[in-house]
Structure 1
């Protein structure tokens, strides 16, 4: 009998040690009880510059069924990016922001805020010319190079953790890619990103229509990368309801992050576009088969 009691006691101790760990794993978002506290990460290989997104390419990132990665293009934007950051915080969702260099230069404080809140940062050229195919190779390369430089410059005095949020990720404006430029990026170990679906939020449609189109397109494909724009008030207006509805329909969210060591790999490439992360001198204190073809971006460059 004593032996049995001893075994029961040992099991109770082990179970007591196990339950808190499980409870911690299952922690919920403090401002959204329906959501987990952390967004799972999907580590994306970038060596050789692969291109991701079933809308254009034969491969995509390793997302599970009904798993969605939110991405936002064209910011940072002083009117809308912070609204979107607050909504993402409320629902404990991390996303990827593909930033335009000229706006990163104008609003470095917002770049730093995006990084400080734990989101991934990619780039989207210097001034968002809608079709780099119409540029000379030298001019197109300059657009890409200046975009990376502007984002890194905005984070120059930020903590190491924030500067490391700049990933070797690039998205072509208008999704108008070029095989020559993808090859050029690949030699610098920069991955190209398209998407699986959009919500047409750049169009002059209501926030309700943006939400409807986004939900419809996601349901059609089932999983993948969603492209939105943090320059559009209609996107911020519908985002909270959109996240809630997707979760009610059984979807989950994932954050795209570069595979471990990808940043160093890109920084070590010949003629790199991204620099290694060193400690700042002064730290501040604190392939999917289904393909949709909605139009995703305006036909003119941003001004």
Structure 2
């Protein structure tokens, strides 16, 4: 499973990959694109799971022994590679209708291109992490100086996109980083740790980077989740078939007794990051 996801993520994240067309079977319920924000009804607000960031904690047992953060039957939805003007709002609308808060790991170049979408994700109450500037899958093989610059530019782009947002929305940007392709390195994690940035990996994915149907993405997600019974799921808000299958996945998981949780940082995490030497993040504006 780990080998499959890592190899898939190596292919999935490169900037400029085309979004693939696909046909869906008749039984797959597809919610319309941009159906509009809907109030959460019938479900309690998403519980939060607080992640410590001091000293660069690492989460996700696919890569890190002892990186388990969630309890039995808890699932954290995470979305990589956005924001995407074609699909991110659709994913947000689905999450709204199903009363779920998620975590979005954003690519800096896309955040700079569409700061309005970054602000929209924050305004809807989701956690935001970063995913580098241009999603280089060879990040750990770049010269260390260049790799650090990739990470720093990603944080700076997302923070800049939120500069005009209300303070409470600025605070949605967490000291969370996910390596492109999950290709971490000891020197880079040491550098992040010195800046109190947590590395967030996963327990499983759904192979939504592949040219497969929405139904197959859902099937693989359920199979991987049921194998472990808890954990962080990687999806991509750049993929139309991910949005297509998301409502059915949510319903299926709830029927199986799973509950969704939102990953959030400790209350002082931004202060810890801002006070670190050569920080990657500043403090959000103080609420007046």
Whole-angstrom distance in 2 between the partners of 1:30 and 1:76: 22
Structure possessing the higher radius of gyration over alpha carbons: 1
1:257 to 258, 264, 280: 264
Aligned to 2:150: 143
Whole-angstrom distance in 2 between the partners of 1:138 and 1:196: 30
Q: What is the SS of the residue equivalent to 1:97?
A: strand
Question: Does 1:205 find its partner at 2:208?
Answer: no
Whole-angstrom distance in 2 between the partners of 1:51 and 1:162: 25
**How high is the TM-score relative to the length of structure 1?**
0.81
Which consecutive residues of structure 1, in runs of 5 or more, have no partner in the other structure? 1-28, 284-303
Deviations 1:54-107 (A, max 9, x none): 000012243111100000000000000000000000000000000000000000
1:1-303 alignment runs, 5 A limit: 31-33=40-42, 35-36=43-44, 38-279=45-286
Deviation, structure 1 residue 279: 4.3
Which consecutive residues of structure 2, in runs of 5 or more, have no partner in the other structure? 1-37
User: When the two structures are aligned, how many residues end up with a matched partner?
Assistant: 251
Whole-angstrom distance in 2 between the partners of 1:131 and 1:220: 30
The runs of at least 4 aligned residues of structure 1 exceeding 3 Å deviation read: 29-32
Aligned to 1:11: none
Whole-angstrom distance in 2 between the partners of 1:208 and 1:219: 16
Aligned to 2:26: none
Would the aligned equivalents of 2:39 and 2:96 in 1 still touch at CA under 8 Å?
Answer: no
Aligned to 2:16: none
Aligned to 2:33: none
Aligned to 1:5: none
The two structures, once aligned, show a CA RMSD in angstroms of: 1.4
Q: What is the SS of the residue equivalent to 1:72?
A: strand
Would the aligned equivalents of 2:61 and 2:68 in 1 still touch at CA under 8 Å?
Answer: no
Deviation, structure 1 residue 131: 2.0
Whole-angstrom distance in 1 between the partners of 2:286 and 2:117: 21
> Could you say if the C-alpha distance between residues 109 and 30 of structure 1 is closer, same or farther in structure 2, counting changes exceeding 3 Å?
closer
Deviation, structure 1 residue 165: 0.3
Whole-angstrom distance in 2 between the partners of 1:277 and 1:249: 39
> Could you say if the C-alpha distance between residues 181 and 111 of structure 1 is closer, same or farther in structure 2, counting changes exceeding 3 Å?
same
Q: What is the SS of the residue equivalent to 1:202?
A: coil
**How high is the TM-score relative to the length of structure 2?**
0.85
Q: What is the SS of the residue equivalent to 1:260?
A: coil
Whole-angstrom distance in 2 between the partners of 1:185 and 1:209: 36
Aligned to 1:9: none
Would the aligned equivalents of 2:214 and 2:244 in 1 still touch at CA under 8 Å?
Answer: yes
Deviation, structure 1 residue 134: 1.5
Deviation, structure 1 residue 278: 1.6
Whole-angstrom distance in 2 between the partners of 1:183 and 1:132: 15
Deviation, structure 1 residue 235: 0.3
